[in-house]
Each structure stands twice: as structure tokens, then as C-alpha cells.
Amino acid sequence: MASSNEGNLRAFVQTAEQAGGFVWVITLVDFAAREVKRALVSEENFATADAARDAGNDRLKGMSNDR
């Protein structure tokens, strides 16, 4: 599980099984407020958990660069 953080906000990349494949899940957690701010799930299925994780990490990096 990869993560990125800024202050009390932290984003996690995880994988989950779905429809015979794997998807990435990015979750943004605000630890100060003790709540999940956002959760994103890929629309694309991947053959392996590693492929889904790599794609999720790339998406999180891209989102971080958009700030």
C-alpha cells in the first residue's frame, strides 16, 4: 500500500478484487477530522494486483502534480 501525505490529510493506494480482476482504490483520509474525504475506484480491471497498484500509484502521482 502506497501513500502520500500533507499535514493531517493522507492518501492511500490499495487494490481490491473485482469481477475476476483487480482494481486500484485511492482513499483520501483527513485524520484531524477522522473522516474519509474521498474514495476513487478505477473503472479499468487489471490482470494482477501489482498492475493495479502500479496504475493507482501513477494516478496518485499525477493527481499530486495537478496541485
Phi, psi of 47, rounded to the nearest 5 degrees: -70, -35
pTM score? 0.82
Q: Is residue 11 part of a domain?
A: yes
Question: What pLDDT does residue 44 have?
Answer: 95
Rounded distance between C-alpha atoms, residue 25 and residue 39, angstroms: 7
Q: Is residue 6 part of a domain?
A: yes
Rounded distance between C-alpha atoms, residue 61 and residue 51, angstroms: 15
Q: Is residue 66 part of a domain?
A: no
The stretch 12-39 carries a mean pLDDT of: 95
**Domains in the chain: how many in total?**
1
- pLDDT tens, position by position, 26-55: 999 999 999 999 999 999 999 999 999 999
Print the domain residue range for 49: 2-61
Q: Is residue 67 part of a domain?
A: no
Split at pLDDT 50, 70, 90, the class of 67 is low
